[in-house]
Copies of this chain bind each other. A is one copy, B any other.
């Protein structure tokens, strides 16, 4: 599916909340930061005519629309970027793929495994037609994490044996924080596990290049009831989750996710321990990668704070001189760049929908293990 010859690649974005804002910033910026095919921000799609109109003006989209199905019929739209709540992903993404569009779908792929399986099937069919179906685990495009993956792939850590991952936030510490759709199983699927634990698990697999083969899990709901619109309401998802993961390359990973970790704002932390070296990372300091190399003299060994802002580091050619740090949002621009490159080059893009489905199965296994008192569930 070659690039359009006579016009820029047209993008439609569905959704304009937090993720929609971040993706808008990426599409607005990618052409200035990176070489690649030209892009037109054609249309922003939402349900509320007035609100989506205002958002389109503010976020820099040429048009707005309320009927995403109609948008899929437009010939000047080549890419559909799905930033809706999770339970709408499957319907929109599948329709977009069937309409011949490239798709970028925010994580989670879907709220349930059946939907995810249908999405994978649609993506496979689309891939045969030259379309790209990409999953938005954007943190893979944080330069420090991309660099970490490269170091692992180059063997700088040797064989990885132990991984520690956590994602700690604190926005539910207050017992009076109100009930919301994120705290109900029927709308959110799961709680901390699916929302942020999923990022941690995706990174474990991304960084090690290994797949989860078995899990043991535990979930907890620390504040079981919160103020709802009509009085106290039951929280039906987890506030915190723990798991140990066996990886098919032999490593063992621990994962902990929490929305109750007072004072930790957005702390996705990762530690990899291998036979030749080790790595540490914290998303709250996302330009830093800490690397320990056991091949230097023992008297000089220590974790090095690599400021991942050198021109030689991943994605840095698009940004600023060394030492000028990047923020959270830049990873979205990097993601847009990689997606455009995959579309232009006809290459595979990772993570794809199958990766999303595999991750969903790991999350399901954690939940199943917890339901069975913590026993091992094999994938």
Contacts and interface: CB of A to CB of B under 8 A. Distances in A.
A266 B299 contact: no
Given A266-B323, A327-B325, A28 B29 contact: yes
Interface of A: 18, 21-22, 24-25, 28-29, 31-32, 58-60, 147, 151, 156-157, 161-162, 164, 166, 169-171, 173, 175, 216, 218, 220, 222, 240, 242, 244, 252, 254, 256, 258, 260-267, 271, 273-278, 283-294, 296, 298-307, 309-310, 312-313, 320-330, 369, 372-376
A328 B328 CA distance: 11
A344 B323 CA distance: 34
A263 B303 contact: yes
A377 to B, nearest CB: 9
A2 to B, nearest CB: 22
B330 A263 contact: no
A44 B303 CA distance: 41
A304 B307 contact: no
Given A173-B294, A262-B275, 7 more contacts: A175-B275, A218-B244, A263-B292, A263-B294, A266-B325, A298-B310, A373-B375
The 6 nearest A-B residue pairs measured at CB: A265-B323, A266-B323, A327-B327, A263-B292, A302-B304, A302-B306
Given A169-B323, A312-B299, A21 B25 contact: no
